[in-house]
Amino acid sequence: MADVARGDRGQLLIVSAIGLAILLTALALALNTAAYAGTHAAASDNGLHEQQAAIGYQASAERAVADLMAINDTTESDLRAAVEDWDQLTGAEYARDGAVTHVSVTDTTVENRIVQDDTRNFTDQSGADNWTVATNATAVEGFEMVLEATALSSSDDCTASGACFTLTVEDEDGDAWRLFASNTSENESVEITVETSNGTTETCTAEASSAPINVTNGVFVDESGAECSFTSFTEDDGVTAPYTIRYERATNVTGTYTLTVTGNVVEGSIEDDERYATTGSPRITPQIRAANVSISYQSPQLTYHGRIRVVPGDDDE
Amino acid sequence: MSDRAQAFTLEAFVAAVLLVSTLTFALQAVAVDANTASSAEAELRGQHGGVAEGLLDGAVESGSLQSTLLYWDESNERFLDADEEEGFYLSRSPNTTFGRSLARLFDDQRIRYNVDLHYQGADGERETRRLVEYGTPSQDAVRVTETVTLYDDSTLVTRNESRRANATLESVEPDFYAPDASDDTQLYNVIRVEVVLWRT
């Protein structure tokens, strides 16, 4: 009897041990799947939402920058100021949703058209007769002028320190290309002398009351319509971009000119720059062709940094 | 003899536990009913959110969202044809391209929505103006937002959403809901459009 009882106890122990093991395994399995499914669902859901928010932010920024660039007479500094305010206004809204956003303009490509279409001397809007027409011009797309004979100096000292009207195109190393204009003849005539960076000079003369000059192509047209070629600063190997374009003794010349340069020419806004205005002569029309913009969007789940190039008119309609 | 009976009882219990845990495991492998229902609901909500987000994206791209923000009657200082007392549209959408698409998408689907506009006010504080109100959102409401930039030379629009002459934001500023938040630049203000949707 006692033997049977002893055997029974063993069976009892085994059965309860197996039961306990099954119970524990089941519990572990159940808890594990629940926890895994929970976090997995939450993560993917949030991640998708955050990505959409970041993409939406970038699209809004791109749209705003493109619109601001397209506004007439916007210079680089105007654009920077406006984007800074936009950044602050939108930043406050996104902060409420727990995201830190930032957008800023890193650099721009500005094309400026500088025009004097009333026949007058070549001084700037403030009347200065030695002035810089454009600094840091990475490219000069076109430069044409028409010189009138009447106001030209009759001096034959056409050098950098002389008395003639001088157009100087200088590079960053100080190498300069110069164009002088004078009227030494008794009759009405326009004489130009071009001095390249290595010191060689070329002259062209027109016995006429006015003469057109294409400065970038190096072509001067005389009274009979014949062309006199000279070395343009674009062909002068000693002078390399970016250029600084200056007028000196601008009261010793009258006429008109049109010049298209790429670069950040205007200091601040046009109103702040006394050399130009948006109307009259000389006037400037800046047009921002492209801007590089850096964008960042940070939230607890997502960090996004991007650089985009905005070209107005790209995503219109 | 009595020990044997106890062993059998325990065996029975273990068998029961085994059965129950098999059942639990099987049920877990196939999605449980209650769970299925709630995920479908969430999906539906996500769908409405997605639709609204797509609508807002399209509207901002085409400019119809912007023209709805400029659908303003400056002499009465409220949205054009809005309810006189509230100044916004109560239980209806504005009669603009964007407003009509909102109505077309949601009105016959038992979906209700509120549209709020947030921007920086004159004192630098955040201000909110309601555009559309259908009531108080339920707990499972979805929220979608879009950012719209207004410029000094943006103009108020007519009833058919064409630009009005001599009505730039700069010139009507005192009678427009949002002030010029960037005085020195061509930027006027940034409006955050918030649409809250829910099922009735």
For residue A172, pLDDT over 50 is answered with: yes
Domain ranges, ordered by start, for chain B:
31-199
Distance from CA of B81 to the nearest CA of A (A): 28
* pLDDT per residue as tens digits for the range B102-141: 999 888 888 899 999 999 999 989 999 999 999 999 888 8
- Between A33, A56, A82, which is nearest B182 by CB? A82
pLDDT at A233 over 50: yes
- Minimal CA separation from B21 to chain A, in Å: 6
The more confident residue out of A27 and B150 is: B150
How confident is the model at residue A83, as a pLDDT? Answer: 95
Q: Among A47-56, A233-242, B162-171, B190-199, name the one with the lowest average pLDDT.
A: A47-56
Contact (CB<8Å) B17/A30 = no
Q: What is the CA radius of gyration of chain B?
A: 28
The C-alpha atoms of residue A167 and residue A183 are separated, in whole angstroms, by 16
Q: Which of A316, A179, A312 is nearest to A246 (CA)?
A: A179
Question: What pLDDT is recorded for position A218?
Answer: 92
What sign for the dihedral angle of Cα A83, A89, A95, A97?
A: negative
pLDDT for residue B59: 93
List the structure tokens of A17: 């041990």
Closest B-chain CA to A25: B21
Instruction: Give the best-scoring range by mean pLDDT among A17-21, A29-33, A212-216.
Output: A212-216
Give the separation between CA B21 and CA A264, rounded to whole angstroms.
Answer: 76
Task: Identify the closest residue of chain B to A85 by CA–CA distance.
Answer: B182
Q: Which two tokens stand for residue A25?
A: 């395994």
What does the pLDDT read at residue A309?
94
The answer, for A11 touching chain B at a CB cutoff of 8 Å, is yes
Mean pLDDT of B152-157: 94
Candidate from A15, A67, A78 with C-beta closest to B185: A78
**Taking an 8 Å Cβ-Cβ cutoff, which residues of chain B contact chain A?**
3-4, 6-7, 10-11, 13-14, 17-18, 21, 24-25, 28, 53, 57, 60, 62, 118-120, 126, 145-149, 151, 153, 181-182, 184-187, 189-190, 192
| 8 Å CB contact of A90 and B13 | no
A24 touches chain B (CB under 8 A): no
Chain A residues in contact with B17 (beta carbon < 8 A)? 19, 22-23, 26
More confident position, B93 or B37: B93
Query: Using CA atoms, how far apart are residues A117 and A128, in angstroms rounded to an integer?
Result: 18
Cα A246 off chain centre by: 22
* SS3 at position B77: coil
Write the pLDDT tens digit of every residue in A95-129.
998 999 999 999 999 999 999 999 999 999 998 98
Per-position DSSP letters for B3-60, written without gaps between them: HHHHHHHHHHHHHHHHHHHHHHHHHHHSPPHHHHHHHHHHHHHHHHHHHHHHHHHHHH
Where does the pLDDT of residue B38 fall: very low under 50, low under 70, confident under 90, or very high at 90 and above?
A: low
pLDDT at A47 over 80: no
- Residues contacting residue A190 through CB under 8 Å, at least 6 positions apart: A147, A148, A149, A152, A181, A183, A205, A206, A208, A210, A211
- Total-model pTM: 0.76
Q: Do A93 and B190 touch (CB under 8 A)?
A: yes
> Quick one: which of A222, A242, A311, A266 has its CA closest to A114?
A266
Dist CA B163 CA A74 (whole Å): 22
The pLDDT value recorded for residue A1 is 44
- What span, in angstroms and rounded, lies between the C-alpha atoms of A159 and A142? 25
Instruction: Give the closest of B4, B53, B119 to A8, CB-based.
Output: B4
What residue in A sits closest to B118 (Cα-Cα)? A93
Contact B21 A71 (CB under 8 A): no
Residue B172 pLDDT: 92
Q: How far is A131 from chain B (nearest CA, A)?
A: 28
Predicted pLDDT of residue B154? 93
What's the pLDDT score for residue A11?
78
pLDDT (mean) for B156-167: 92
Q: What is the pLDDT of residue B189?
A: 95
pLDDT of residue B31: 55
CA pair distance A153, A190, nearest whole angstrom: 10
**CA A316 to CA B68: how far, in whole Å?**
19
Q: Looking at A25-29, A234-238, A312-316, B174-178, which range is the least confident one?
A: A312-316
Residue type, B11: E
Cβ of residue A39 closer than 8 Å to a chain B Cβ: no
Residue A253 φ/ψ region, left for φ over 0, alpha for ψ in the -120 to 50 degree band, beta for the rest: beta
Inter-chain residue contact B21 with A26, CB threshold 8 Å: yes
Res A2 pLDDT > 60: no
% of chain B exceeding 70 in pLDDT: 90
Q: Please state the domain extents for chain A.
A: 1-125+263-317, 139-253
Does residue A87 have a pLDDT over 90? yes
Nearest Cα to Cα of residue B178 among B165, B193, B166, B163: B193
Would you call A26 an interface residue with chain B, using a CB distance cutoff of 8 Å? yes
Residue A62 pLDDT: 93
| Mean pLDDT over the full length of chain B | 87
Q: Give this complex's ipTM.
A: 0.78
More confident residue, B82 or A316: B82
Does the pLDDT of residue B194 top 80, yes or no? Answer: yes
pLDDT-derived band at A45 (thresholds 50, 70, 90) equals low
**Which whole number is the average pLDDT over A161-177?**
91
Residue B174 three-state SS: helix
Return all residues near B106 (Cβ < 8 A) that are at least 6 apart: B48, B112, B113, B197
**Percent of chain B clearing pLDDT 90 (strictly above):** 53
Read off the amino acid at residue B59.
Answer: A
> In the 8-state DSSP scheme, what is residue A138?
S
Interatomic CA distance for residues B194 and B118, integer angstroms: 8
Report the pLDDT value the prediction gives residue A258, as an integer from 0 to 100: 94
CA dihedral A270, A274, A276, A279 (to 10 degrees): 80
What's the alpha-carbon Rg for chain A, to the nearest Å? 37
* Pairwise CB contact (< 8 Å): A22 & B17: yes
Of A11, A23, A89, the CB nearest to B7: A11
